[in-house]
Amino acid sequence: MASRTNNTFRYVDWVTIGLILVLLIFGWMNVLGASWSFDQTSWFDFSFRSGKQLVWIGTALLIGFVILMIDWKLIQDSAWILYSLMLLLLLITPFVARDIKGSLSWISLGPVSIQPAEFAKFTTALALSAYMSRYGFKLRSWRDLLIPLLILGVPMLIIMVMQKETGSALVFASFILMLYRKGMSGNILIAGLAAVVLFILALKAGILMTLLFVGIVILFSIGLIFYLRWKDNRKFKWRNVWLTLGIGLVCTGYSLGCNWAFQNVLQDHQQKRIAVVLGIMDDPQGAGYNVNQSKIAIGSGAVFGKGFLKGTQTKMNFVPEQATDFIFCTVGEEWGFVGSSIVLIVYLMLILRLITLAERQRDEFSMVYAYCIVGFMIFHLTINVGMVLGLMPVIGIPLPLLSYGGSSLWSFSIMLFTLLRLDAARVEKMR
């Protein structure tokens, strides 16, 4: 055990740990900024959020330390057990949860509330890694995708349908990056992108403009095919023409479906949030309130910001959820363009570092797992900061390591340190 621990600390990736610590410390300063009030006598007063967040950070680091100490084989071996236990917990949660703004995902344990859905990401990533690292498994066709989709789809559906926690469920979409890296067709990635673009177009520009757009793209593609035929007849296949027309048909149907689904499937508040982002609706007091206030707060930060604890917008409670999902507002207001860009770049560095770690893994399990974490980080960053900047609809997911809240901090700490533990064992695995 002693030598193994030594190895761990010799081979653990200190760059990642450094980046994590930078984000944690900066995050705490902003939670303090967002919840600072002038009645507060001490920064460490535990009845305030900044004090509580300090406890969360301390415990998160402790958990990280413990994870670095455990045997890496234990992580692999416990994947399925943890996954099954989490499914059970997710199923129970809606029945014991308190209703918080329509979401049934929080369990109260004495003075603290935790959100099991936050931790379901971790167990699902472990289960996927365990499945996809089985001997002989390879993602070659869509058939190989079925089981992985089932593994990630079950918890996702429970969270979305039973707990009514759309934001946390959407995070499961981020597994697409890992699946892509492990061999899933890139066309699916492109199709996903096309679906998002068409959805936005159908709602914002109207169904007629969308169909016109689809028509022009299809005509242009067919034109291109025939142009290439004229250039070089050998590569021409009629199949390509029919395929293009088929895609056009699917796109048309999809656009019509989007319009219908938007009005009939999505809930009222979800419709509003999307409509506000797309600029269809201006509602600065209702659904657009958060985003509008958050843009004002960020905009008022200007180039260098107002300075630590000097922000006014975020402190006046004009921005709701300012310490949790809208923490980036405080960053923007108090640290300005320079500070916010630095934070984003630190995030980018962390993500790129994680990709490097992922690529240097020597076993499938660790690599798949590492890419799951990379996916989470990119997804959370995109959705959360996109929302705060008014580029994405308001979906309540936290900014990893920065947002106030124990569940999110613990869950990311567990996920990242597990990755570091697996990475530190790579030398061992080589022997």
Partner 1 sequence: MINDDLYRRHHVVQAIAILVVMVFIVRLFGLQVIDKSYRNKSENISLVNQTIYPPRGLIYDRNGDLLVFNQPIFEVMLVVRDMTNAEEPFDTLAFCRSMGIDRDYFDRRLSEIRDRSKNPGYSQFRPQVFMTQLNSIDIAPLQQELYKLPGVSIRQRTLRDYTYPAAAQVLGSIGEVNQRDIDSDSYYQSGDYSGRDGIERTYETILRGIKGKEVLMRDIRGCIQGHYKNGELDEEPVAGDNLTITLDIQLQLLAEELLQGKVGSAVAIEPSTGEILALASNPTWNPSLLIGRQRSANYRELLNDKTKPLMNRATQAQYSPGSTFKTLQSLVCLQEGGITPQTLYPCSGKGSSPIKCTHHHGSPVNLINAIEQSCNPYYWQAFRDMLEKDGYGKDNEKFRARYQLWVDDMMSFNLGRKFEDSDISEQSKGSVPQVALYDKIYGKTGWRAMTIRSNSIGQGEVLVTPLQLCNAAATIANEGFFITPHLCKSDTFLRHRHETAVEQRYFPLVKQGMARVMTNGTGRHYALPDSITSAGKTGTVQNSRGRDHAIFIGFAPVENPQIAVAVVVENAGFGATWAAPIASMMMEQYLTGEVTRKDLRQRISSTVLNPNVINRK
Rounded to a whole number of angstroms, the CA Rg of the chain reads 24
Least Å from the CB of residue 151 to partner 1: 21
For partner 1, which is the closer residue by CB, 158 or 367?
A: 367
Q: Strand, coil or helix: what is 239?
A: helix
For partner 1, which is the closer residue by CB, 160 or 344?
A: 344
For partner 1, which is the closer residue by CB, 214 or 425?
A: 425
Least Å from the CB of residue 20 to partner 1: 17
For partner 1, which is the closer residue by CB, 140 or 237?
A: 140
Least Å from the CB of residue 298 to partner 1: 5
For partner 1, which is the closer residue by CB, 256 or 344?
A: 344
Q: Where do we find the tokens 């070659």?
A: 140
Q: Record the tokens describing residue 80, joined without a space.
A: 């399925």
In whole angstroms, what is the distance from residue 251 CA to residue 382 CA?
Answer: 25
**Nearest by Cα to 75 from 376, 407, 429, 399:** 429
Least Å from the CB of residue 399 to partner 1: 12
In whole angstroms, what is the distance from residue 327 CA to residue 388 CA?
Answer: 9
**Nearest by Cα to 90 from 168, 8, 175:** 168
What is the CA 372 to chain-centroid distance, rounded? 10
Least Å from the CB of residue 289 to partner 1: 8
For partner 1, which is the closer residue by CB, 267 or 317?
A: 317
Least Å from the CB of residue 36 to partner 1: 11
Please count the other Cβ atoms lying within 10 Å of the Cβ belonging to residue 153.
14
The H-assigned helical ranges of 116-164 are 116-132, 142-157
Least Å from the CB of residue 363 to partner 1: 10
Least Å from the CB of residue 368 to partner 1: 12
For partner 1, which is the closer residue by CB, 73 or 362?
A: 362
β-pairing, 98-100 vs 112-114, is: unpaired
Q: Record the tokens describing residue 314, joined without a space.
A: 């975020």
Classify residue 363 by burial, with Cβ atoms within 10 Å: 0-12, 13-18, 19+: middle
Contacting residues toward partner 1, per CB under 8 A: 37-39, 177, 180-183, 186, 284-285, 292-293, 295-296, 298-303, 312-313, 315-318, 332, 336-337, 340-341, 344-345, 347-348, 351-352, 355, 358-359, 367, 371, 374, 378, 381-382, 385-386, 389, 391
For partner 1, which is the closer residue by CB, 82 or 139?
A: 139
Residue 113 pairs with which residues in a beta bridge?
108
Strands of the sheet containing 103-109, edge to edge, are 98-100, 103-109, 112-114
